[in-house]
Structure 1
Amino acid sequence: MFLTWVLSRIRAYQRYRQTVRELQRLSDRELNDVGLSRSDIDHVAKRFAHA
């Protein structure tokens, strides 16, 4: 049970980091096109990682 929880947290963190990396690669204009700003990246990545 504990191991399953730890592994799920590791996977969530990996999804978070990947999402941050991908969104940071976008230009400000591209982010704006999808309705985001640079300050939204962390929040969006956290929501996606735990979805």
Structure 2
Amino acid sequence: MAYASHIQGARHGFFGRVDAVVKSFAEARAQRRVYRQTLNELRDLTSRDLADLGIARSEIPFIAREAAYGKA
């Protein structure tokens, strides 16, 4: 028979809200990091490389946003 040695319930109240805010902040930071990295990498490509990929320079911010935040 198996026994649980440590059970942690859902956090309620103030600390639960603080925990949710911290997690939300961390997720937003990770998404911004993906956005910036994608944006910088695509901007560093030459016009010829972008043309080979079928990407116009004006599309770069939209592609980076989709990569970081998903389709709207």
Superposed pair shares fold, TM > 0.5: yes
- Structure of larger gyration radius: 2
Aligned to 1:19: 38
Q: State how 1:9-48 maps to structure 2 within 5 Å.
A: 9-48=28-67
TM-score (norm 1): 0.92
> How far apart are 1:42 and its partner, in Å?
0.2
Q: How many residues align?
A: 51
TM-score (norm 2): 0.67
Identical counterparts, % of pairs = 31
